[in-house]
Chain A
Amino acid sequence: MTNSILARRFAIAVAIVALVVLPYAIKEVYYVNIASQILLYAIFALGLNILVGYAGLVSLGHAGLFGVAAYVVAYLLTAGHGHALAIVAALTASLLATAGFAALSLRATGITFIMITLALGEIVWGLAYRWISLTNGDNGITVASRPAPFGIALSGARPFYVATLIVFLLAVAASSIFVRSPFGAALCGTRDQPRRMNALGYHVWLIRFWACMSSGFLSAVAGVLFVYYNQFISPQALALTASAEGLLMVISGGAGTLLGPVVGAALVVIVKNVVSAYVERWNFMLGAIFVAIVVFMPEGLVPGAARLVRSFWQATGRRKSVAPVTAERRQ
């Protein structure tokens, strides 16, 4: 028991060191930027995973929440306000939008919930596209500079990567605490047996509402990082395809697992950016990979790989001893 905890802590430490050293080991700035993109989309996917994986509510409007935060940053910076104000206002605005989304869409679950979130996401996209006086329409808004927290300029690819990494690690830590908490257990309960949870004294609606808010907050954080990463925002970033890509990340990596969304984000970003340089129809590639995952690892890459490793150990272990192996419980 203590050994496995030590091994786990060691693995986490190695992973963090590797992530910190990574941009300095890679010579090309292009790949450092890809790594930043993976991390910021991983934050987005972690947020979406709270809803999809733990609350059992599939949202197709999350790019809208991501977009509200990005646009508020871009708008306020263009209007001459400082970075701190822009970021705080962006997170606040996105949380308010999330509350509105939740109030409207939590009247339903299942397919109806998906359709309402889709409609709401499309409304935000429509505003970004058509409300030209505010958003500059299809031309988008350019952000002149990145912030310099504690006097450290983030204008270079490597400092920006490190800043994104810090936010990413905080998001992973927050998610892992959330998952093991009583509230996390209550949320999973509302996913599996909402009627029973109500009978046990839980306020199912309010639990789902707070799940939406946590999810929306992480989406907003990712949106802020996104607008600073690109130094540009246009309606394209909050189109339906962006929401669908987020879902793809969560489901391909493994919904309801901590690391699944991170792996899924890496997969989607790499296919989108790296593979597209070699294969013209990279969308086709992404689709083919997704189909393969659904066929061979329907539970997602992370739980699927864990299953393969387990069965491999069981197969090799059986030859040496006949000790019974109890199946590990899925988190």
Chain B
Amino acid sequence: MSALVINNLSKSFGGLRVTRNVKLNVEPGERRLIIGPNGAGKTTLFNLITGELAPDAGSVSLFDRDITRMASRKRTHLGMARTYQIITLFARDTIQHNVTLALLGLSPLRWNPVAVLGRQSHLAVAARDALRRVGLEQIAERPLAETSYGERRRVEIAMALAQNPKVVLLDEPFAGLSIDERQDVRKLLIAIPREVTIVMIEHDMDVALDLADRITLLHFGEVIVEGTRAEVVADPRTREVYLGE
């Protein structure tokens, strides 16, 4: 059984075909890197997988379950989590509250209008655990508005991990980070246990290459090359579309 199967997925915006017959098969526990130059359709592919966009054709399955027509919030309940390339966090709240919202999203408690959120100690404990994994436990009570860009990237990852997902989709987790910050994020991604399947987008090829088991190269919405790291790097088509001549 595969963790994530994408079959002949297509999407057009008007005359622009952003995703063309994309096929993808990600095994459980795999680390899959999707690379491609700007405009290759990587984020669109993610939006199709998470259901934020509806495909024109093709199908998406999560652990053999067809989720092509499923609302994106329900996919989250099935164990799919994502981060955003453009940071999408709750700026007026604390780091802790951001992660708490991620936990609450999967809890039936989210409909409760009479309980006191601050007294839900199980949520607080779980939020601290998630923040410990990304090294932000010390500043959990800090308002998000007072954090650095690198810290926000890690909050994004903490929110995805807090949901205890089976499949995590990371949209450019290294974007805009300094070299030191990249090392921090790299370490915490390596520390994610193998029960979790990771699909990661990066447009900068070198950053995440060694984290991946398999690499898919996307160009103009099409899968050009797919294989192991060595295979993809050695492929002349990779050099052509990606590394430049």
Where the two chains meet, the residues of A that have a C-beta atom closer than 8 Å to any C-beta of B are 177-178, 180-186, 189, 192-193, 195-204, 210, 214, 327, 329-330
Q: How large is the interface on B (under 10, 10 to 19, 20 to 34, 35 or more residues)?
A: 35 or more
With A199-B72, A202-B73: A181-B113 Cβ-Cβ less than 8 Å: yes
Where the two chains meet, the residues of B that have a C-beta atom closer than 8 Å to any C-beta of A are 50, 52, 72-74, 76-77, 82, 84, 88-94, 97, 100-102, 104-107, 109-118, 120, 143, 159, 163
Which residues of A are found within 8 Å of B72, using beta-carbon distances? 198-199
Most central of B102, B107, B114, B163 by chain A CB within 10 Å: B114
Minimum CB distance partner of B90 in chain A: A192
A199 touches B115 (CB 8 A): no
Q: How far does the Cβ of B203 sit from chain A's closest Cβ, in whole Å?
A: 21
- Complex: A327 Cα to B101 Cα, angstroms: 23
A185 touches B97 (CB 8 A): yes
- Complex: A259 Cα to B115 Cα, angstroms: 21
B120 touches A182 (CB 8 A): yes
Q: How far does the Cβ of A275 sit from chain B's closest Cβ, in whole Å?
A: 35
Q: Quick one: which of B82, B97, B120 contacts A199, CB cutoff 8 A?
A: B82
Q: Provide 18 A-B residue pairs closer than 8 Å at the C-beta atoms, listed in order of the A residue.
A: A177-B116, A178-B113, A178-B114, A180-B118, A181-B112, A182-B112, A182-B113, A183-B113, A185-B117, A192-B91, A193-B89, A196-B84, A200-B102, A201-B105, A202-B73, A202-B110, A210-B113, A329-B94
- Complex: A204 Cα to B101 Cα, angstroms: 13
A201 touches B117 (CB 8 A): no
A201 touches B73 (CB 8 A): yes
Minimum CB distance partner of A202 in chain B: B105
Q: Quick one: which of B74, B90, B92 contacts A330, CB cutoff 8 A?
A: B92
Which residues of A are found within 8 Å of B102, using beta-carbon distances? 200
Q: How far does the Cβ of A177 sit from chain B's closest Cβ, in whole Å?
A: 6
Minimum CB distance partner of B107 in chain A: A182
A200 touches B117 (CB 8 A): no
B73 touches A185 (CB 8 A): no
- Complex: A181 Cα to B109 Cα, angstroms: 9
> Contacts A199-B76, A200-B105 given; 13 further ones with Cβ under 8 A?
A178-B114, A183-B112, A184-B113, A195-B88, A196-B84, A197-B105, A198-B52, A200-B101, A200-B106, A201-B73, A201-B74, A329-B92, A330-B92
- Complex: A197 Cα to B116 Cα, angstroms: 20
B105 touches A180 (CB 8 A): no
- Complex: A192 Cα to B91 Cα, angstroms: 8
B116 touches A181 (CB 8 A): yes
Which residues of B are found within 8 Å of A196, using beta-carbon distances? 84, 88-90
Q: How far does the Cβ of B49 sit from chain A's closest Cβ, in whole Å?
A: 12
- Complex: A203 Cα to B163 Cα, angstroms: 16
Most central of B77, B112, B117 by chain A CB within 10 Å: B117
- Complex: A329 Cα to B93 Cα, angstroms: 8
A198 touches B73 (CB 8 A): yes
Q: How far does the Cβ of B18 sit from chain A's closest Cβ, in whole Å?
A: 19
Number of A-B residue pairs having CB atoms within 8 Å of each other in the complex = 92
Q: How far does the Cβ of B39 sit from chain A's closest Cβ, in whole Å?
A: 21
Minimum CB distance partner of A183 in chain B: B113
Q: Quick one: which of B50, B120, B143 contacts A329, CB cutoff 8 A?
A: B143
Which residues of B are found within 8 Å of A184, using beta-carbon distances? 113, 117
Q: How far does the Cβ of A102 sit from chain B's closest Cβ, in whole Å?
A: 16
Which residues of A are found within 8 Å of B143, using beta-carbon distances? 327, 329
Q: How far does the Cβ of A5 sit from chain B's closest Cβ, in whole Å?
A: 13
Which residues of A are found within 8 Å of B77, using beta-carbon distances? 201
Which residues of A are found within 8 Å of B76, using beta-carbon distances? 199-201
Minimum CB distance partner of B146 in chain A: A327
Minimum CB distance partner of A331 in chain B: B92
Which residues of B are found within 8 Å of A203, using beta-carbon distances? 73
| 10 closest cross-chain pairs (CB), A and B | A200-B105, A201-B105, A201-B76, A183-B113, A196-B88, A181-B113, A182-B117, A182-B109, A182-B112, A186-B110
Which residues of A are found within 8 Å of B114, using beta-carbon distances? 177-178, 181
B101 touches A189 (CB 8 A): yes
Q: How far does the Cβ of A178 sit from chain B's closest Cβ, in whole Å?
A: 5
- Complex: A186 Cα to B115 Cα, angstroms: 13
Most central of B91, B93, B94, B111 by chain A CB within 10 Å: B111
Q: How far does the Cβ of B135 sit from chain A's closest Cβ, in whole Å?
A: 22
B113 touches A177 (CB 8 A): yes
Q: How far does the Cβ of B245 sit from chain A's closest Cβ, in whole Å?
A: 39
- Complex: A181 Cα to B163 Cα, angstroms: 20
- Complex: A223 Cα to B205 Cα, angstroms: 63
Q: Quick one: which of A200, A204, A214 contacts B159, CB cutoff 8 A?
A: A200
Minimum CB distance partner of A206 in chain B: B111
Minimum CB distance partner of B83 in chain A: A199
Q: How far does the Cβ of B67 sit from chain A's closest Cβ, in whole Å?
A: 14
A200 touches B163 (CB 8 A): yes
B100 touches A185 (CB 8 A): yes
Which residues of B are found within 8 Å of A185, using beta-carbon distances? 97, 100-101, 104, 117
With A200-B102, A201-B76, A202-B110: A181-B115 Cβ-Cβ less than 8 Å: yes
A180 touches B117 (CB 8 A): yes
Minimum CB distance partner of B74 in chain A: A201
- Complex: A265 Cα to B57 Cα, angstroms: 54
- Complex: A101 Cα to B105 Cα, angstroms: 27
- Complex: A68 Cα to B84 Cα, angstroms: 44
